[in-house]
Structure formats: structure tokens, C-alpha cells
Structure 1
Amino acid sequence: MRYPGGTLIAEPRVNDRIRVKRVRLIAPDGAQIGEKDIDEARWLAAQLGLDLVEVAADARPPVVRMMDYGKFKYDQSVKAREARKNQTRTVIKEVQFRPKIGTSDFDVKRKRVVKFLRQGDKVKCTMRFRGREMAHPELGRDILKRLFDEVSDYGEIETMPKLEGRNMTMVLVPIRNIATELLEDDNTDED
């Protein structure tokens, strides 16, 4: 079977695709039945209305199990979907500042940084310098320091303010326990 990305996914051999003479047979409940001829194992599986699935092809003799293969595949896809849903995603949001930012503009951007940190996202704070503002990078550093002092209850510094060309960047990460508590509170409110 081909995966949409183009790579092959190895699926176990089922029923008539098993091409060996003798197999070690396992019952649906997990009990070992023992070594059987492949035809006898297929007959036993057919009597129970189950499929014969090769679970360990490298073993000698190969290990096969009687199971409902369709249900098995469905259960695996549900588990994979749950695993993908529970993965943590890291999103980096960016908020841009200028050295001569007004107090109300600063407050709006500070609230946005707090909102992103409460959602559990990283925040990249960028101070953009133009023209002669490059002569005073300490003004930008002071604004970023003031921003951190005001949002320190929600996040901590991952990358200290660093001048790169005409931009000074600082990365904030949410404080882990606060972000998870807020997400849990949001989930209980929805119920």
C-alpha cells in the first residue's frame, strides 16, 4: 500500500497471502495453540469467521494470529488519530514593536503577547529599527525588558534580546503549568 506522501507502508500478510508451510498459531484471546500446517490454520480461522494475520514474519516458524482484520485496522487508525490529536503543536506568533512606540500601542501589543502566551504559543517579539534609530539600540532593549517585566507572570525568556541587522528579537515561551491549567479551564467551561 502507498501512503499519500509516496512511501510504502508495510501491511501484514493476511489469509491466502501467507506463503509458508507451517506457522505458530495464536488464538483470538492470545492463547498459543501451537505449530500448525497453514491449511489447517486457515481452516480453523474460517470456522471462527476470523482472518489469519501474520504478526511476526521473521520468526521461525512465522507467528500468525486469528483476528478480525477489518476491526484491527479500524482500531489502529483510531489510535493513530488519537495520537495525532494529542500531539503538542508549537506555534510561534510574532509581535512587532518600534523604539518610539506610544503607551497605548504598547499596551495593546502587550495584551496580544499575554493572549498568545495563555494559549500556549511561543511569542517572537521583534523590535524594528529604521534610520538613525540604529544609533540607540538600548532604547529597543529597554522596551523589550519592560515588556518582559509586564508579562513575566505568563511567560519566560527563551532567547534574550539580540540585535540581528536592523531587528532586535526576543523569544518568550509560556510557563508550562499556567498554560496547561488555562487550557484545562477552557475545556471544562465547554462541557
Structure 2
Amino acid sequence: MKNDNLKNQYRVNEQIRVREVRIPGEGGSIVVPTRQALDMAREQGVDLVEISPNAQPPVCRLIDYSKFLYQQKKRAKELKSKQIKVEVKEIRFGPQTGENDYAFKLKHAQEFLEEGNKVRAYVFFRGRSILFKEQGEVLLLRFANDLEELGKVEQMPALEGKKMFITLTPKKTGTIKKSQQKVDREKKEAESKVNTNSSEVNVDLEILPKSGGLFDNAKNGGDALKKLNLD
């Protein structure tokens, strides 16, 4: 069926009934009477194929019609293979989604966006949980903020029935530059981990010098901590 449709797109040989046609060639194009163009095709053992019927005069090629159809089919296939197929991936949350579940779904969303797919996240409100719709909105906005490096918001949170949706579309591929907000957040998280691991030492890391200070080497760091504990 597809081949039949392709054949019907072009007129060939005696189907071409205009007075004259333009024939492109290596040295430029020439305009000749259609009858002369048909004679030229027969002499070369090929067909006269009309490729631009709306041109003045119509443009025709001297080529084997079967070969021409093959070339067109191959070109269409190549163009189709180059087209990026964008899928919409859905991610579901509850109004009170836990941190572990949130992190798990956030990771999947990152993968979807990196693959060039859209992400449509939603919070499903079951029964009376619809009373927490503001909490669901906050969750979706946090979700969008955590994915700001990979995707941009196409649709802000919107309530549809018992579901609140937000849609993210992938940004252009390339080197992803961290935003200053992301850098600051990662810095605070790293400092928080240090504070947790060193909970036995009642020291606020923010008061410690960033460089050339107490932690330049193990010896100086140990002496400083002992002094602080004694105080």
C-alpha cells in the first residue's frame, strides 16, 4: 500500500501532458518540449519523471523510475530514523511521599530527561487526602526544582480531578552546568554530613577557617579540637 501511494505521487512518461519541462543537469538545467524530453529518455533507456509539478515549467528527471522510487523510499527512511521520538513518562507520588521513595523516583525522572523524554509527574489524592493538595503542590515544585538542570517546566502544577500534574520537558543535550543554587545546596549537604559524623565534637564548622586553619594537617587539627574541648 505504501509503495502504491509513493507511485501515485509522481507522473511519469506519457502521464506528463504539459507543453514543456525543465530538466536539470550537471551543467545547469534546460527547458525543452515534453515530446523532446520523452525522446531523450527513450534514447537513454530511462524514464521521464516529474518531480516538481508546481514549478514553471515543471521539473523532470531522466532516471529509471524503479530506481527513483527506491531512492525516495530510502531518503524517507533516513529522515524518519533521524527524528527524535519523544515519549511522556509518568511518575506517581502520594501527598505524603517518604524521602527514600522520592529519591528513587527522582533518579528515574533524571534518566527519562537525559534520554530526551518528557516527564509528567502527579500526586494522587485518595479520599480525604485531597485536603492536602497544597502539600502535593509543594512536592511537585520541589521535584521540578531538583530537576532544573535537566528539564524545564512546561506546565505548572494543576489539579485535574484527584490528580495534580506537573510536566517537564528535557533541555537541550550538552554539558550540564550546575546552577549556583545547586552548588550551595550540595555544599550545605556536605557540611551537614561532616557535622553528623563529628557529633561528639561540639564545634560549628562554619566558624573554622576555610583554608590555612585548623584542618591544614592532622596534627594541627587534633591540637585545635583538644583545645576547644577543654574550653
Does the 8 Å CA contact 1:28/1:67 hold for their aligned counterparts? no
| Structure 1 range deviating more: 85-94 or 58-67 | 58-67
Q: Could you say which residue in structure 1 is the equivalent of 2:126?
A: 130
1:169 equivalent to 2:165? Answer yes
Does the 8 Å CA contact 1:91/1:121 hold for their aligned counterparts? yes
Distance change (3 Å), C-alpha of 1:112 and 1:62 = closer
Deviation at 1:124, TM superposition (A): 0.6
CA RMSD of aligned residues (A): 3.2
Amino acid aligned to 1:26: I
1:141 equivalent to 2:137? Answer yes
9, 12, 16: which one aligns with 1:11: 9
Deviation at 1:88, TM superposition (A): 2.9
CA distance in 1, matches of 2:69, 2:167: 43
Amino acid aligned to 1:11: Q
Deviation at 1:178, TM superposition (A): 4.0
CA distance in 2, matches of 1:142, 1:63: 61
Does the 8 Å CA contact 2:24/2:59 hold for their aligned counterparts? no
3-state SS of paired residue (2:10): coil
Distance change (3 Å), C-alpha of 1:13 and 1:105 = same
3-state SS of paired residue (1:82): helix
Deviation at 1:107, TM superposition (A): 1.1
- Equivalent pairs counted in the alignment come to 176
The one-character-per-residue Cα deviations of 1:87-143 (angstroms, maximum 9, x if unpaired) are 232211100000122211111111111111111111111101112211121221222
Does the 8 Å CA contact 1:96/1:125 hold for their aligned counterparts? yes
CA distance in 1, matches of 2:41, 2:123: 69
Does the 8 Å CA contact 2:22/2:57 hold for their aligned counterparts? no
Q: Could you say which residue in structure 1 is the equivalent of 2:77?
A: 81
Unpaired runs of at least 5, structure 1:
181-191
Unpaired runs of at least 5, structure 2:
177-231
Deviation at 1:45, TM superposition (A): 2.0
> Higher RCO, 1 or 2 (CA under 8 Å, sep at least 6)?
1
Q: Percent identity?
A: 36
Please give the TM-score of this superposition, normalised by the length of structure 2. 0.63
1:26 equivalent to 2:2? Answer no
1:93 equivalent to 2:93? Answer no
3-state SS of paired residue (1:77): helix
Does the 8 Å CA contact 1:117/1:173 hold for their aligned counterparts? yes
Does the 8 Å CA contact 2:24/2:60 hold for their aligned counterparts? no
